[in-house]
Amino acid sequence: MVLVFSFIFLIMLGGLLTFILIQHKVSVQNIAWEESLRVAESGIDYYKWCLNNGAEDQCQMQRNYYDQEGVLIGDFSLEVISDVSCGETISRRIYSTGRSSKYNDVERTLEVAYGRMSIAKFAYLLNDNVWAGPDRQIKGLYHSNGGIRMDGENQSLISSTLNEWVCTSSFGCSTCPVSSGCRIEGSNCICPGVFTTTENPRTDLFSFPVSPFDFAGITVDLAGIKSKAQSYSIYLPPSGSIDSSADGYHLVFKPDGTVEVRIITRLWSDWAYSEEQGWHNDYFRIRDEYLYNTYSIESSCPVIFVEDNLWVEGTIAGKVTLASANLISPAVKTNIILVNDIDYAAYDENHAFMAIAENNVLISPSSPDNMFLHGIIIAQNGHFGINHYPDNIKNNLELNGSVVSNGRVGTQWISGSYIVSGYLHRQNYTDPDLIYSALPFVPYSEYEFKAIKWEELD
């Protein structure tokens, strides 16, 4: 009986010891599993430091990881894949595999995408005073280095650099709106940096004064775009060098990834008013043109540089950066005229558009009654808008993207309390796919790389 029970006891003891050993091994593996994730994350943080401090060339792709007391915890290995466009690194994907020194067979891999935030986080970014009318619907950050009269609807922050500004009759202050926080000083109407005369906006999202946005810092490198376009993509010289009767180019983007380049030979005249020129004749409507060439847009460097005035419309397939500037004759400032809708072949992160004008980006008087514009629009030294054409009243303008304008924007003209020109209804939305989009030469609002995607791989 003693032998039988001893044998049974030994079997039970062996089973118990085996169970304890298995549980201990599982515990060690679980600890190693958690530690390997921490080690992998330390690899991500390590490369982020290298990235934001210009030390990528000195970064080691494999390193040991120690705790604060100098005890070895494990090691990580890194793999970096860069998204390059026109020779410029736009974003990076970092793969970090972490291992624990307690159990080397256990490893975990993280994929993190790093990018820099572009100016596309703003629906509007302005360097002048502005009046947003009561028909406006704005869904996105709206900032001006000048004063803002915000009478429309806003779903995001409205910020101004100014604490106060002089609101003139061109901003509807011929009678000073003292009930809106303004006051009269001599002949001037002094208003808060951001104010409203309607109940449309959310005033709790008004912020002023804030730090000014550095417009000089977002000046686009037009010479750099020209150089890349000449070397790798599409460069169009002054149209007069091709045809002595030319007045500029008309670009029509096609859903198949090509662009038709037409040379304009005659333009219609329209009686127009702008704050810069007063009453004058505009020549923005195309009368005669001919097809010059059809180009395929180079996906590895999708830039187009036009050394002349430029008329634009069409459907963007892929990503395109378009610039208009005359760098041959610095005294000549070129404009971009938006003729018709600018749309995308598909609405995702693989499709993006940016148009940069050395001077103004203006909407043609022949634009459609309901107009849709997608992308980033930059009027580097001028402004974005539509001039006043008598009795040229259109229905709706929808902007899905961002407008950056050095001067005052305006897409609606009012005389007294009546709309006399421009668009009756206007909506502005930021496009989240553009904020970290890999568009070449896009200006950044923040230069530090940030994690835009975090994922653990199986």
Q: 186-226 pLDDT, tens per residue?
A: 999 999 999 999 999 999 999 999 999 888 777 788 888 99
Any domain includes 441? no
pLDDT at 59: 83
Per-residue pLDDT at 22 exceeds 60: no
pLDDT at 21: 57
Please state which of the ranges 52-56, 140-144, 187-191 shows the lowest mean pLDDT: 52-56
Please state which of the ranges 11-15, 205-209, 229-233 shows the lowest mean pLDDT: 11-15
Any domain includes 352? yes
Per-residue pLDDT at 113 exceeds 80: yes
Per the prediction, the chain carries an average pLDDT of 89
Any domain includes 420? yes
Confidence band of 458 (pLDDT split at 50, 70, 90) = confident
- What number of other Cβ atoms are within 10 A of residue 278's Cβ? 8
**In a shared domain, residues 110 and 252:** no
pLDDT at 454: 82
DSSP 66-104: E-TTS-EEEEEEEEEEEEEETTEEEEEEEEEEEEETTEE
Per-residue pLDDT at 68 exceeds 80: no
Q: Does this model's pTM top 0.75?
A: yes
Rounded CA-CA distance 189/174 in Å is 8
Number of domains in the chain: 2
pLDDT at 116: 84
Any domain includes 204? no
Rounded CA-CA distance 452/259 in Å is 32
**In a shared domain, residues 228 and 100:** no
Of residues 55 and 79, which shows the higher confidence score? 79
Q: Cα–Cα distances in Å, from 398 out to 101, 305, 430?
A: 57, 26, 11
- The long-range contacts involving 61-69, CB below 8 angstroms and separated by at least 24 positions, are 65/39, 65/98
**In a shared domain, residues 424 and 291:** yes
pLDDT at 403: 95
% of the chain exceeding 70 in pLDDT: 93
E strand spans, 275-307? 278-296, 303-306
For range 278-297, the mean pLDDT? 95
pLDDT at 88: 76
**In a shared domain, residues 235 and 383:** yes
DSSP-derived 3-state class of residue 226: helix
Any domain includes 173? no
Residues 6+ apart with CB under 8 A from 424: 135, 393, 394, 395, 396, 412
Any domain includes 126? no
**In a shared domain, residues 109 and 254:** no
Any domain includes 252? yes
% of the chain exceeding 90 in pLDDT: 60
Any domain includes 320? yes
Structural domain of residue 17, as residue ranges? 2-117+450-457
pLDDT at 399: 95
Per-residue pLDDT at 19 exceeds 70: no
For range 395-421, the mean pLDDT? 92
Per-residue pLDDT at 30 exceeds 80: no
Torsion angle, alpha carbons of 6, 7, 9, 13, to 10: 130
Per-residue pLDDT at 265 exceeds 70: yes
For range 393-418, the mean pLDDT? 92
**In a shared domain, residues 307 and 421:** yes
**In a shared domain, residues 250 and 108:** no
Rounded CA-CA distance 315/375 in Å is 11
For range 447-455, the mean pLDDT? 82
Per-residue pLDDT at 455 exceeds 90: no
Q: Cα–Cα distances in Å, from 334 out to 5, 13, 283, 390?
A: 101, 90, 13, 25
